[in-house]
């Protein structure tokens, strides 16, 4: 399957859109906003206060988070300039996501966004569709690269989880689980290493000398790639539809996700091994289990997962998949887990700033 043609967050601004269901991701990036502000300040000094600053947001998606994150970056540069006698640079903003991303929803918000920006400088926004696992921009055109909540998506489901007939060896799971054979863990880890290394290589060509990169992605505390409860619950919700005769079992057994939550050590190891970047700052944190505007945390998570995973589910299970029912089960299971004494529902985020080694 060609992921680049299928995978996208739910577009538009309707009830199931990413736009309306991405407040948990916003929380994860807001928590480390100061890290970004400080990195922008360091970049401006290290690159001798450029007249024109190139910024990129990789995996920008559509919805309010995209332009709010860019606004924070532009304002951080403005604040850094105001603390000196330097002029605020003009900004060349490069928004990137996969080609089927709903870029139009972002563009529609641009006129109002430009009006509300508190900067006297010019800001030019453009979109660059493509996979961030390859080259996206010309050599040496960016000063700061930002990516939030995106790099845990792999370029593909690892080929190592299929046997010689192309059948998944990962039975009763859609990601690494306690039931997965060791080869499954190994295949996912290797795919992450390969993808993250390609990402770093490409970005090192695109960043100018002195440039930095801030990456925010889902991760895990445990060094062993143990199960991820959110995927486990999606498996259980799909299994309920199988037991009710609404989804064929073989369809469920052939569904796998192209996701990997690395440990901090795995991320740092890969940065060192690839060799183009140095880790400046790194942090690991958990975001609050907050229901936001939803009736429960379970509903909030179910709506978030639906807005992210619907394109892949419909592509695999077909248009007849009962998404409302599926995510009703999902919300119920999350809420049940929350009530357990040893509930393991936690979402771990890793944030890091990398500087290009000249
Ligand atoms: C959960 S959204 C995050 C959006 C936004 N950055 C935020 O923090 O709310 C993840 C985004 O990464 C994008 N993505 C995943 N793999 C990608 C790839 N290989 N190249 C570019 N974008 C990718 C997805 O299409 C999706 O829009």
Q: State yes or no: pLDDT of 41 exceeds 80.
A: yes
pLDDT in tens, 305-326: 999 999 999 999 999 999 999 9
C-alpha of residue 340 to centroid of ligand 1, in Å: 32
- 19 Cβ inside 6 Å of ligand 1: no
C-alpha of residue 36 to centroid of ligand 1, in Å: 18
Q: State yes or no: pLDDT of 116 exceeds 70.
A: yes
- 132 Cβ inside 6 Å of ligand 1: yes
- Which position has the higher pLDDT, 208 or 224? 208
Q: State yes or no: pLDDT of 358 exceeds 90.
A: no
Q: Strand locations in the chain, DSSP E?
A: 52-58, 90-97, 123-129, 142-148, 207-219, 277-286, 348-356
C-alpha of residue 215 to centroid of ligand 1, in Å: 12
pLDDT value of residue 323: 97
Q: Angle of helix 297-317 relative to helix 323-339, nearest 10 degrees? A: 140
pLDDT value of residue 154: 98
pLDDT value of residue 339: 85
63: left (phi over 0), alpha (psi -120 to 50) or beta: left
C-beta atoms surrounding 281 within 10 Å: 16
CA distance 283 to 302: 27
Are 98 and 4 spatial neighbours (Cβ–Cβ below 8 Å)?
yes
C-alpha of residue 101 to centroid of ligand 1, in Å: 9
pLDDT in tens, 216-246: 999 999 877 677 899 999 999 999 999 999 9
0.95 surpassed by pTM? yes
Query: What is the band of 119 on the pLDDT scale with cuts at 50, 70, 90?
Result: confident
- 9 Cβ inside 6 Å of ligand 1: yes
DSSP-derived letter for residue 220 is B
By DSSP bridging, strand 277-286 and strand 348-356 are: antiparallel
Among the CATH numbers 3.30.360.10, 3.40.50.150, 3.40.1640.10, 2.40.160.20, which is that of 3-356? 3.40.50.150
pLDDT in tens, 144-171: 999 999 999 999 999 999 999 999 999 9
Query: What is the band of 120 on the pLDDT scale with cuts at 50, 70, 90?
Result: confident
What average pLDDT does the structure give for the chain? 94
Q: State yes or no: pLDDT of 345 exceeds 90.
A: no
Q: Tell me the mean pLDDT in the region 29-54.
A: 97
DSSP-derived letter for residue 161 is G
156: left (phi over 0), alpha (psi -120 to 50) or beta: beta
pLDDT in tens, 258-286: 999 999 999 999 999 999 999 999 999 99
Q: Tell me the mean pLDDT in the region 337-353.
A: 85
Closest CA to 205 of 138, 271, 278, 130: 138
CA distance 306 to 286: 21
Q: What percent of the chain has pLDDT over 90?
A: 89
- 97 Cβ inside 6 Å of ligand 1: yes
- 335 Cβ inside 6 Å of ligand 1: no
Give me 328's structure tokens: 């009703």
- 307 Cβ inside 6 Å of ligand 1: no
pLDDT value of residue 341: 64
pLDDT value of residue 118: 80
Q: State yes or no: pLDDT of 133 exceeds 80.
A: yes
| Alpha helix positions (H), 293-322 | 297-317
Give me 292's structure tokens: 């936001």
Provide the residue ranges of all domains of the chain, joining segments of one domain with +. Answer: 3-356
């Amino acid at each position: 399957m060609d992921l680049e043609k299928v995978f996208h967050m739910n577009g538009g601004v309707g009830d199931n859109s990413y736009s309306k269901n991405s407040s948990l991701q916003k929380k994860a990036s807001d928590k480390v906003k100061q890290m970004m502000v400080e990195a922008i300040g360091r970049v401006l000094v290290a690159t001798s206060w450029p007249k024109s600053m190139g910024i990129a947001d990789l995996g920008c998606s559509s919805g309010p988070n995209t332009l709010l994150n860019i606004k924070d970056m532009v304002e951080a540069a403005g604040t850094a300039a105001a603390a000196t006698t330097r002029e605020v640079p003009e900004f060349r903003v490069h928004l990137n996501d996969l080609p089927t991303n709903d870029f139009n929803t972002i563009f529609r918000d641009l006129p109002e966004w430009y009006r509300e920006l508190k900067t006297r400088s010019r800001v030019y926004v453009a979109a660059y569709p493509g996979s961030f696992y390859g080259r996206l921009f010309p050599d040496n055109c960016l000063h700061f690269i930002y990516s939030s909540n995106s790099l845990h998506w792999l370029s593909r489901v690892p080929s190592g989880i299929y046997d010689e007939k192309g059948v998944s060896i990962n039975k009763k799971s859609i990601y690494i689980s306690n039931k997965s054979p060791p080869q499954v863990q190994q295949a996912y880890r290797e795919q992450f290493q390969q993808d993250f290394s390609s990402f770093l290589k490409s970005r090192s060509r695109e960043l100018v000398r002195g440039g930095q990169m801030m990456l925010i992605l889902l991760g895990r505390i445990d060094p062993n790639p143990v199960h991820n409860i959110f995927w486990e619950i999606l498996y259980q919700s799909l299994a309920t539809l199988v037991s009710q005769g609404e989804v064929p079992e073989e369809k469920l057994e052939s569904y796998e996700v192209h996701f990997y939550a690395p440990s901090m050590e795995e991320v740092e190891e890969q940065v060192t091994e690839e060799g183009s970047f140095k880790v400046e700052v790194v942090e690991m944190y958990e975001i609050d289990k907050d229901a936001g505007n939803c009736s429960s945390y379970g509903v909030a998570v179910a709506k978030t997962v639906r807005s992210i995973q619907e394109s892949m589910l419909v592509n695999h299970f077909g248009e007849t998949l009962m998404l409302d029912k599926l995510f009703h089960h999902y919300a119920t299971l999350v809420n049940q887990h929350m009530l357990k004494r040893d509930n393991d529902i936690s979402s771990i985020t890793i944030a890091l700033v990398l500087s290009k080694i000249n």
